Amino acid sequence: MTFTMEHFETDRLLLKPATIEDAAFYLKLLNSPKWLQNIGDRNVRSIEDAEHYITEKMMPQLKRLGYSNYTVIRKSDNQKLGCCGLYDREGIEGVDIGFAFLPEYEGKGYAYESALKIKEAGISLFGIKKISAITIPENKSSQKLLEKLDFSFIKIINIPNDDEDLMLYEYHV
């Protein structure tokens, strides 16, 4: 069974798989100061780059596993706020949860609300037993959010092709 177009809802949010129609939003998000600081430069400089990023980095995993990156949309006005998803990331055992929001939507509970929904879907819908998460040591807000989601810090790791120290968190069912 495939869940390639599965979307999720919370009281305030709609989480839908990223598509090329979201390219302008991802161009802005991937070049926001906190994305660049905490996640890294993905060399997305144009709408075409963003479309390529979505079709090459996000959609293949969605087709292969049924889950990937979700655009987080506020239901009250259809505003795109950020992204949240489950990722099959090289160097991480199991599935990795990740999230990022535009600066103007931080501190309003959207990251927690969307990440909790994605975590629950990973467990109940996709049968995932262990979810990992990574963050840089300087990203205190991400660490606090992971702890609020009942993730536990495990150790400092490095992933392939990246010498930056990353904090590995895990959640076990």
Q: What is the DSSP string of 8-68?
A: EE-SSEEEEE--GGGHHHHHHHHTSHHHHHHT------SHHHHHHHIIIIIHHHHHHHS--
Query: For the chain, how far is it from start to end, CA to CA, in angstroms?
Result: 23
Asked if the model's pLDDT at residue 4 lies above 70, the reply is no
Mean pLDDT of 151-170: 93
Q: What is the CA radius of gyration of the chain?
A: 15
pLDDT of residue 5: 65
pLDDT of residue 59: 95
Report pLDDT digits (tens) over 13-62.
Answer: 999 999 999 999 999 999 999 999 999 999 999 999 999 999 999 999 99
Residue ranges and CATH numbers for the domains of the chain are 8-172 (3.40.630.30)
pLDDT of residue 161: 83
Give the pTM: 0.94
